[in-house]
Amino acid sequence: MIDLTKLTTESRNQETMHLDEMTPIEITMAMNKEDAKAVEAVKVVLPEIATAIDWATQSLKEGGRIIYIGAGTSGRLGLLDAVECPPTFGVPQNLVVGLLAGGEKAFVKAVEGAEDSHTLCEKELKDINLQPEDIVIGLAASGRTPYVIYGLRYANSLRCKTVAIACNKNSEIGKEAKLAIEPEPGPEVLTGSTRLKAGTVQKMILNMISTGSMVGIGKVYENLMVDVQQSNEKLVVRAQNIMMAATGCDREIAKNVLEQANGNVKTAITMYLLSCDEGEAKQKLSRAGGKIRKALK
């Protein structure tokens, strides 16, 4: 039998022993108070998160990928972060990958036994042709999920950079990875329901890793998402707004320059600020590693 008694994520929260008797406002107050602990838990592990950002940036610069592996809520959070990267940062669909135990169908319905498999994650990593340049980030609130443990072992065998994110100290996945990020937000309001604080903590960390690494490879100018893809009406307007914010031009000029740049916001900004054509702007950006600020110098 698995011993869960030593896991903080499985402990009972003494502040919510009467959860079943609380009024709606009391429940909201109790949960809000506990959620504040999630922010503080992440603050404690910021140095480790910064290292993960450095490693992820290095992988991307070397032609590698960011690959999240996880089961249940943790795996779903990894998949969610992965699918948000292409529209936000204009990266290819396969640059940030989320592997969920049981496959994408497990996003809405758990697949029996998938998270306990010792072979499934290795198979899935082989299926996507895992390479040494990739970084593999294992997610498990408990820190003991076999799917993640064996996935990290396989990644280590290829000399990939490996990171573990768990919500218990001295976790099993932390022992497998080259870098362990182990914030401890404490027992959940609802005992063992790690979709709550533990899920919040993991989402916050994933936000930092993906955003920080995309900053590192030039997907951001100032605090603007300059590689945003104009895939719908809202994003067309956002691209114009970004152009205007970065250059001080009006909307008509933004539209015109974006059209000349074939919709590429980063190129359009560089064209306008350096008074050059599309070809020259692309050359300058290429020499600057895709970073507008560096190209402007």
Among candidate residues 40, 62, 104, 115, the one labeled active-site is 115
Rg of the chain, C-alpha, whole Å = 22
CA separation, residue 57 to residues 92, 208, 214 (Å): 16, 12, 7
Three-state SS string over 185-196 comes to: CCCCCCCCCCCC
Three-state SS string over the chain comes to: CCCCCCCHHHCCCHHHCCHHHCCHHHHHHHHHHHHHHHHHHHHHCHHHHHHHHHHHHHHHHCCCCEEEEECHHHHHHHHHHHHHHHHHHCCCCCCEEEEECCCHHHHCCCCCCHHHCCCHHHHHHHHCCCCCCCEEEEECCCCCCHHHHHHHHHHHHCCCEEEEECCCCCCHHHHHCCEEECCCCCCCCCCCCCCCHHHHHHHHHHHHHHHHHHHHCCCCECCECCCCCCCCHHHHHHHHHHHHHHHCCCHHHHHHHHHHCCCCHHHHHHHHHHCCCHHHHHHHHHHCCCCHHHHHC
**252 part of the active site:** no
Question: How far separated are the first and last CA of the chain, in Å rounded?
Answer: 62
Among candidate residues 84, 133, 278, 280, the one labeled active-site is 84
**84 part of the active site:** yes
Catalytic site positions: 84, 115
